[in-house]
Amino acid sequence: MSKNLVIVESPAKAKTIEKYLGKDFVVKSSIGHIRGLPSKNGSVDVANNFAPRFEVNADKKKTISELKKEVKLADTVWLASDEDREGEAIAWHLAEVLKLDPKTTKRIVFHEITKSALDEAVKNPRTIDMPLVEAQQARQSLDYLVGFELSPVLWRKVRPQLSAGRVQSVAVRLIVERESEIDAHTPESTFKLTAEFMLEDGTLLPATSSKKHQTIEDVREILEAFAKSNFSVADIEKKPATRSPSAPFTTSTLQQEASNKLGFSPRSTMQLAQRLYEAGLITYMRTDSVNLSGQALSAMTDYIKGQYGEKYHQFRTFKSKSANAQEAHEAIRPSDFNKEFAGADAQQTKLYNLIWRRTLATQMAPAALEKTTISIKASETKEIMEAKGEIVIFDGFLKVYGRSGDDVLLPEVNKGDPLTLQSAEALESLSRGPARYTEASLVRKLEEMGIGRPSTYASTINTVQTRGYVERGELEGVPKEIAKLSLKGDKITQVSETIQYGKDSNKLFPTDTGKVVTDFLVKHFAHVMDYTFTSSIEAELDEIAIGKKDRVKVLTEFYKPFHKLVEESADISRAEATQTRHVGDDPKSGLPIFARFGRYGPMLQKGEQSDDPKPTFAPLPTGSKIETVTLEQALEMFKLPRTVGQTKDGKDIKANIGRFGPYIVIDKLFVSIKPHDPHTITLDQALELYEAKLKGEAEKNIADFGDGIKILKGRFGPYITDGKKNAKIPKDTEPASVTHEQAKELLEKTPAKKTRRRVIRRAS
């Protein structure tokens, strides 16, 4: 019989813990949550004080059966799930399902998986923290109610299969509103003036004007004065400066820094950090705290003094910026500072080393810098040019954490030294609106506004992209001409350069679906979409967690006004919800033409839904919007599909625009014609693309048995298909040698694809 049974939520965590606890302990895993709210009506019983009706997850029945057997064999059961609200809820669910008394069952938590931390936890067990469980259930119920009641409104009024989430929808709103700000921005032109001077010893000194100029006339006048001027050093200013390390990582700052320095998405960062924690390499990675334990501070002190010397050490403590900082009691840090590198793969190692460097830097001396500014005057104008440099006098914490850029060391000069102008240039630039969000900057914004919890940001950002409200991508920008004036000797030349104005990469863009859904929700569910209200809900959840607020009261205060809005939404017209706009009337038929949001995004519609014959549809022209498309543009789109001509064997070639861009279709074969325009593509161009497509299809076709069964070259290698099922070809078999009978046999052995059942997912 096992004296002690320890239950954790992760198999990897169980494996690490078992190494430290010894032979008197058996460690088992629940493999995550064992119960949840099913995606069906009534899972939260509003009439019965919002009682949640949990069900055992279908894939956890075997796990529970095995755990029940282990419980019967044990003298003592220890619940050791993670130390946050989610972990507390898992412990409570385990107690409920395994028939353990929450008031007496031993609950242990630890910030790191080390022998000393586990020994300390076992010496100081507690019971399940019910206020934490209540807070988690309140969040779960809120998200369920919003998702289950608001999503069907979107289905009826906007488009089927859409979804809404309490935090998800507000996050999308941030991105939509930022895009609106960018669209509303009017570019303003300014000129940046730069020059290069030569010292008497031949050393070159680059300099920049201390101000930007508004017009080309201004900079031309300055360059004309420069052509006649003598130059000299007007002033030299040297200033000492210091740079101090940032606080140790919290969940949010780790996600931001891993994105900026390593290019990891918040979701990848959390997955990697989870693995590092489960392997006992770092402390718990879901935390708002910037505190470091006394043991960690002592270990860092010894390491820094031993490796770098006394002068590199400086003791510091940090205070959390958020008044609601909670969850774990320590920042994210390595478990052993003697390990500079650790992890099961390259990505884990990179993240671990970033955590190691950031944590160690917090207890190191500030960097000492010297900033130098050399001011340069001209005899014929008041324009001052400046050369700026910065050097590190003492690297301090930068020795571990590193710095971006190199020292800029300026040459030694004296006030009054003459300088010779080698060249000068004035380059026009166009102002841009506020920057689009990256995943990292969106995390920072959500944290600043108190929306959601840092532990949920990664899943929220992933959800809004998965559901098609937001895309991470690139923008080509639009070509714009800017002016450049250059001075060489006494000659000024002016040329034009073309730039891609508005070019952007790796940013978050709202989709048309995201815009329409956000506009609808902001207009009709302003209460739910309000930033301050969403933040206040988080504060109330925090108060439930510490026993200051009642779960039922918080849910009641939220649900009553919310449910009233849901009931009132029945009166909202579909035309209003889909932003239907009357563009004008077709001069030939007299039918009205509308721009509206349809099943696959913005579209044009000619005729009313009730008309007979039924209305016809066309996509919006590229680059246009529902609110800006003109009647002239719309009429052009209704000229499609256009018959371009015929193939050699008499088949019609028709050009059109679809969901994925412009294309031609011959019989049932679709051929992309990007970047050609379906209105203007010629027969020769269409035939060339058609022939290339046929050639590609032929090369892809290894064998065709004539009854629908084919052997094709696929993205991941050759495969057999009958149009419904795909079968793999054994690695040791030459694809071309597979017979018709063998192909049929392999298809029969391949199981049919499972039908995916759509469920309402509630974003936290």
Catalytic residues: 284
Length of the chain, in residues: 764
Pairing between β-strand 491-501 and β-strand 478-488 as defined by DSSP bridges: antiparallel
CA–CA gap between residue 435 and residue 181 (Å, rounded): 10
* SS percent in the chain: helix, strand, coil, step 5: 40, 25, 35
What tokens does 8 get?
A: 């954790």
Pairing between β-strand 55-56 and β-strand 35-36 as defined by DSSP bridges: antiparallel
Cα separation values, 103 from 68, 129, 685, Å: 19, 9, 77
Pairing between β-strand 504-510 and β-strand 592-598 as defined by DSSP bridges: unpaired
With tokens 């017009």, the residue in question is 215
CA–CA gap between residue 104 and residue 93 (Å, rounded): 15
For residue 257, is it left (φ>0), alpha (ψ between -120 and 50) or beta?
alpha
Tell me the one-letter amino acid at 346: A
For residues 595 and 631, the answer to whether their CB atoms sit within 8 Å is no
Give the DSSP H or E segment for 157: helix 130-157
Angle ∠(385,386,389) on CA atoms, nearest 5: 160
Residue 75 exposed, middle or buried by CB count within 10 Å (0-12, 13-18, 19+): exposed
Cα separation values, 760 from 38, 146, 519, Å: 10, 11, 21
Question: Residue 453: which of 581, 286, 590 has the closest Cα?
Answer: 286
Per residue, the 3-state secondary structure of 81-106, as one string, reads CCCCHHHHHHHHHHHHHCCCCCCCCE
What tokens does 728 get?
A: 């793999």
Q: List strands edge to edge, sheet with 701-704.
A: 701-704, 710-714, 717-721, 726-728
Question: Residue 281: which of 11, 8, 13 has the closest Cα?
Answer: 13
CA–CA gap between residue 733 and residue 717 (Å, rounded): 12
Contacts of 69-72 with CB under 8 Å at 24 or more apart are 70/2, 70/5, 70/26, 70/28, 71/5, 71/98, 71/99, 71/100
CA–CA gap between residue 715 and residue 724 (Å, rounded): 17
